[in-house]
Structure 1
């Protein structure tokens, strides 16, 4: 497969997944911001989300004073923010358009319809009146895109690059969503039993990653931060966990390997093994925030290695 075609497929999937995960992250904050808390705590929650998304400075430069409305506009509507939902769905559609001949008609029409529907949703005022409903729509369109891709495309190199993009992005965003809770509070979970109100925060986080029912099925007990972290990091049977994502990355890398990708496969395999054989107790002892920060650095490096070995090389500045 041509590297340019692989590049478009990889980034089409990444942008679609990024839009969904941005919606999930915003939904966590929308839900938790409605819980009893001071205005300062609420603002810290929004700042933590911007910080872990590496968007704090860009937001401050554009808006100055932080308000919920401005954060939502910045993270949803603002096409100058490359991580906004509008920007991601636009880029996903543009990458799909560039390789229409490689995609099935159903995959292209799904991407194009999502972009068209987004314009209507944003102009209808749905984001202002019911942001959670808008975020549910984003998640639904991402689910639809994945389902149509798996259900209609030939299982060749094209779908492997799509899957690589999906799970590299999902791993990154799952780590960020989990780290939002701990941003700026290293080793929080070693300081004793959580407050009762934390149950509602963790329940909101689990629902944001479609994990609330899964948690109940796996643990059959009260929600604790330790088990939430274990579920989202080390459970291979949890679809959005870091380990599940790395399972898929390693498998799809094997399917597209070439003469120069051995080091990248080893790098991915080592990261996969660290998750596969790690214990949550050891992660907590080292500090969850530090562990997630290190994982984010490694997944970023892995994405760069995949780009170097398979995709269109980045042009040096």
Structure 2
């Protein structure tokens, strides 16, 4: 498909670019008991994760190097090897910028077309998109006041909230550890892009309210250390976790009896081997929350 590359702006042949890196979708598929499914139609098997004609070959390759870095420095060590400490350098910051920029670029197009956000919010998003695009093209060396954060969604030991019913019944571990999503939004003075990469939650803040707290989560454009422990977040983005669980509950309710029986058969066929799958511990942890 010929068109203008979203990053470099040149008219070239466009590639089908994944919004969330393809290797993460492959990992989700390979570690699932059954097939992966989408929110659009939970009864239909999803052959691939979201992708768009967006980048030319050269820009796609520009992002690929940082994706490999993230895979080998954070994603696989955390998901497969259960590491909690990650030594990183500037390539992680570049990857996070590329990840959030892809979602933000597409979301701005939709927001403008649908006129679904306030003008000042869209203007800030457009400004941030330009800053990140220039950074990705090495036209600038910083992102001004834009912040990248990684929050590792670990095990919930107990629930302490005014309305804890959804947390207890909404399967938080299963939902968040076994799903992928990426989109932009805003709440009050906080404007953001949030991406869930199977429990590795990436948040880019374009502006934030004064009462937002992000402790031990920020990733800097330098050599540093990130630890998947002692992280503290008090943010409006907590509502997104609730939204994901609500969406999961809706999906479960619309699954057909035929699809449900197929899923159940795969689980039953595994027998005790189900304990070899990560989702088994998620199910156990969710059941403990209900009790």
TM-score by length of structure 1 reads 0.24
TM-score by length of structure 2 reads 0.25
Higher relative contact order structure (alpha carbons within 8 Å, sequence separation ≥ 6) = 1
- Give the structure with the larger strand fraction: 2
- Give the structure with the larger helix fraction: 1
